Amino acid sequence: MTDTSIVDTGLGDAEDDDFDELIEADEPDLPEHRYMDRELSWLAFNQRVLELAEDPKVPLLERTNFLAIFASNLDEFFMVRVAGLKRRIVTGLAVPSNIGTAPQRVLDGISRDAHDLQERHARVWNEQVRPALAEENIEFSELDDLSDDERAGLYEYFQQHMFPVLMPLAVDPAHPFPYISGLSLNLAVRIRHSRTGREEFARIKVPPMLPRAVRVPNADPDSNRVRFVHLESLIAEHLGDLFPGMEILEHHAFRLTRNEDMVIEEDESENLIQALEDELLRRRFGPPIRLEVTEDMDDVTLGLLLDELDISKQEVYRLPAPLDLRALYQLSKIDRPDLKYTTHVPITPLAFRPTESDSKHSRADVFGAIRQGDVLVHHPYESFATSVQAFLEQAARDPQVLAIKQTLYRTSGDSPIVKALIDAAENGKQVLALVEVKARFDEANNIEWARILEKSGVHVVYGLVGLKTHCKIASVIREEGDQLRHYTHLGTGNYNPKTSRIYEDFGLFTCDPIVGRDVTRLFNELSGYAIEKKFKRLLTAPLHLRKGLMKLIDRESSFAAAGKPAHVRIKVNSMVDEEIIDALYRASIAGVKVDVWVRGICSMRVDLPGVSDNIRVRSVLGRYLEHSRIFTFENGGSPEVYIGSADMMHRNLDRRIEALVQVTRDQHIRELTGYFDLAMDDGSSAWQLGENGAWTRHHVDADGKPLIDVQDKTMSLIHRRRQSRQKRR
């Protein structure tokens, strides 16, 4: 392949009818049962997260972090996937799963597997991680195990910081059962009046603004011993202060999960923002879908909760205390680097390092670097601040920049990205921000800073009705002499400097005029009307991406038939779309080598004789969240490679604006294929998909020696690559 950025993929001009004939010709028969259930596959993904928490070779405080990640993941799964399935069952709209399972059976299977996983999760904390922390002088103590002085210190903390904000709510004829907010931790308290002997029920919400792990005052200032008690235990210890003169009969922690999936009828809404704000209010009062209780909760208290919350016993999860292990995120603040991963410091991409001519300004000329050729950056190994952020900040202050256009899916209101757009508008530039206010669980934040952008003079649009804008694109129009030059960034991850430190993503910077024209047309259609056009160097959803990828996959089969190199590599977060999976099965049958690197859900099977013989599926989990999407096609020995925002899911391919961009520099193609090959190598640590959808972790060799950590190896390779290029310079 020539090292050029001006390439016509040929996909933009393909006629749909011709393509349909191409893929229908000589199609092999595929077995009926060729997919895995997507919901159970998601639970298998979260089990892989849990296995990292179980691994004694993972640094101890990182194991606690994986326990917290597991808990947070499962909460979202219930709030969205389980909630949506229950809603469809109740309304009669549910259809069989992707493998033909009846909806109620799917729900039963989820309940079975989720119960097992939550119990295993609790055991890992109580039997493995908590004792291991104690050996490192990080202890979670029971109040009865503390000295009188320590208990006195905690009581003082209770009186000063907790008692004023606690709100015990009684339930009696004059006080109806209180509203229980989703994911809140609560104490159910049964009390008896000392004078009347009448029993009552009360609920105390554990204040979410206070730390769940309360540090025990250390009597010895020279000791490195750190001890905590759980916030709810401290509240329970002092219930007498909250219910003076009452007898405390029982007290137990419980936690409720509600349906927080949002359904917006955009076609019927005159004002999307108002509709979203109304739905956000309704979300708070979604029906209950899961009740977590401590395993020692008595039947009377549990029966009362079941009746008042209108929830079934199948939806009750009895677990050993403590509930809600998201609280373990707090432990990451402990200053024990010996119990954490070795720090990786992101480096500035070599192309964006200041040159001698830049040194007087202490900043690199980002535009000058891009003019030298396309630049590929790999986060978090390479710095977001000195690449993406620097790109937009330079554009904001550059007098030759006339316009900036950007999509924003998830970011933060205090983000330097948002500030750069505001600065650009205040400097008189035309600025367009396409804000996706329907980004799940970020809706309120996105609405808030979208309004801030509007007040600053930024043109804010909210995308197309019925579609989410998920593509990651920033375009800068710069006047250079008598021409306008397009500088474009297309990425796999969000414009969010916080998540860029922990999410693995790629981004491509280019001033290729073909990409510039493609992106300009895309933005014009996003801010105007529906997308209908095809592009030269982009593949876009919802109209053309699936068919474009299927054409590329099918082309590999033609190469295999001709005896030429044929290989498909796909890295995504989720592999669910049946048409894409079937195309990969057909390629495998034709002799194409197929490698799939998936982080989360995977509905593919690798145990279909004669169908999946040439398919390998791997999953890599570690300190960073693998988030990039890569699509490479061997193309008979002249590899064709794309990166972008799309996962292989129905929502991405049918209901979202997505974009993949072709990567054309030989150096970048080698980097992307090399990264992929590292993850698929048998000498690298990864989970491998096997029979019946089972994932097996391979992280040590036959002698028990650890296999290569893909993320550590990638960091060292990037450092080595930079050093070698510096020497050549």
Q: What DSSP line would sit under 319-381, residue for residue?
A: EPSPP-GGGGGGGGGS--GGGSPPPPPPB--GGGS--TTTGGGTS--HHHHHHTS-EEEEETT
Spatial distance between the Cα atoms of 584 and 553, rounded to a whole number of angstroms? 7
Tokens of 147: 């000295």
**E-state strands within 194-245:** 199-205, 213-215, 226-230
Q: For the chain, what is the mean pLDDT? A: 88
Q: Looking at this protein, which amino acid is placed at residue 199? A: E
Q: Which of 42, 40, 63 is nearest to 53 (CA)?
A: 63
Look at residue 178 in the predicted model and tell me its pLDDT: 85
List the one residue out of 315, 257, 311, 324 whose CA is nearest residue 286: 257
pLDDT confidence bin for 177, thresholds 50/70/90: confident
- β-pairing, 615-619 vs 483-491, is unpaired
Per the CB < 8 A criterion, the answer to whether 575 and 605 are in contact is no
pLDDT tens track for 120-163? 999 999 999 999 999 999 999 999 999 999 999 999 999 999 99
**Second-level CATH architecture of 350-526:** 2-Layer Sandwich (3.30)
Question: For 74-78, 99-103, 384-388, 617-621, which range has the lowest pLDDT when averaged over its residues?
Answer: 99-103
pLDDT of 498 above 50? yes
pLDDT band for position 12 (cuts 50, 70, 90): very low
Checking if the pLDDT of 611 tops 80, the result is: yes
538-728: which CATH architecture? 2-Layer Sandwich (3.30)
Whole-angstrom Cα distance, residue 114 to residue 43?
Answer: 7
Is position 698 annotated as part of the catalytic site? no
Partners of 201 in beta bridges: 171, 190
Q: How do residues 703-722 score in pLDDT, each as one tens digit?
A: 999 999 999 999 999 988 77
Closest by CA position to 622, among listed 323, 327, 381, 326: 381
Structural contact between residues 423 and 396, judged by C-beta atoms closer than 8 angstroms: yes
Our CA dihedral for 153, 158, 159, 160, rounded to 10 degrees, sits at 90
Cα separation values, 644 from 215, 218, 628, 652, Å? 45, 51, 7, 12
Give the separation between CA 617 and CA 621, rounded to whole angstroms.
Answer: 14
CB 508, CB 642: distance < 8 Å: no
CB 487 within 8 A of CB 660: no
Q: Hey, how many other C-beta atoms are within 10 angstroms of the C-beta on 350? A: 17
Contact by Cβ (8 Å): 507, 379: yes
List the structure tokens of 83.
């909630």
User: Per the residue annotation, which of 230, 378, 379, 470 is the catalytic one?
Assistant: 470
* Model pLDDT, residue 270: 45
Nearest to 678 by CA among 716, 651, 705: 716
- Residue type at position 240: G
> In the prediction, which pLDDT does 28 show?
82
In angstroms, how far is CA 585 from the centroid of its own chain? 28
Query: Which residues lie below 8 Å from residue 400, measured CB to CB, with a gap of 6+?
Result: 478, 479, 480
Cross-strand partners of 290: 257
Instruction: With cut-offs at 50, 70 and 90, classify the pLDDT of residue 553.
Output: very high
Q: What is the pLDDT of residues 246-304, one digit of tens each?
A: 899 999 999 999 987 655 444 443 454 555 545 545 555 678 999 999 999 999 999 99
Tell me whether domains 40-339 and 538-728 share a fold: no
Domain ranges of the chain: 40-339, 350-526, 538-728
541 with 654: CB under 8 angstroms?
yes
Q: Identify the three-state secondary structure at position 63.
A: helix
Residue with tokens 């996706």: 436
Share of the chain above pLDDT 70, in %: 87
Provide the 8-state DSSP code for 246. E
| Token pair 């049958």 in the structure block, residue | 589
Which helix (DSSP H) or strand (DSSP E) does residue 458 occupy?
none
The radius of gyration of the chain's CA atoms, rounded to the nearest angstrom, is 28
**What are the φ and ψ backbone dihedral angles of 291, each rounded to 5 degrees?**
-125, 115
pLDDT of residue 103: 84
pLDDT band at residue 4, thresholds of 50, 70 and 90? very low
DSSP 599: S
Q: What is the pTM of this model?
A: 0.89
pLDDT at 284: 59
Of 159, 247, 165, give the one whose Cα is nearest residue 204.
Answer: 165
Per-residue pLDDT at 526: 81
The answer to whether 642 touches 662, Cβ cutoff 8 Å, is: yes
In b/e form, how buried is each residue of 665-681, taking b as 16+ CB within 10 angstroms? Answer: beebbebbbebbebbbe
Tokens of 13: 């001009």
pLDDT digits (tens, 9 = 90+) for 581-602: 999 999 999 999 999 999 999 9
Close Cβ partners of 166 (under 8 Å, ≥ 6 residues apart): 204, 207, 235, 242
> pLDDT-derived band of residue 305, with 50, 70 and 90 as boundaries?
very high
What are the residue ranges of helices labelled H in 398-463? 416-426, 443-455
CATH class of the structural domain 40-339? alpha beta
Within 13 Å and on the Cβ side, how many CA atoms surround 202? 24
Residue with tokens 């894409």: 580
Residue among 511, 509, 507, 510 nearest 492 (CA): 507
Q: Are 288 and 261 in contact (CB under 8 A)?
A: no
370 has a pLDDT exceeding 60 = yes
Beta strands in 436-572 (DSSP E): 459-461, 468-469, 472-480, 483-491, 503-510, 538-541, 567-572
What backbone torsions phi and psi does residue 82 show, to the nearest 5 degrees?
Answer: -65, -40
> Distance from CA of residue 282 to its chain's centroid?
24
| pLDDT, position 388 | 96
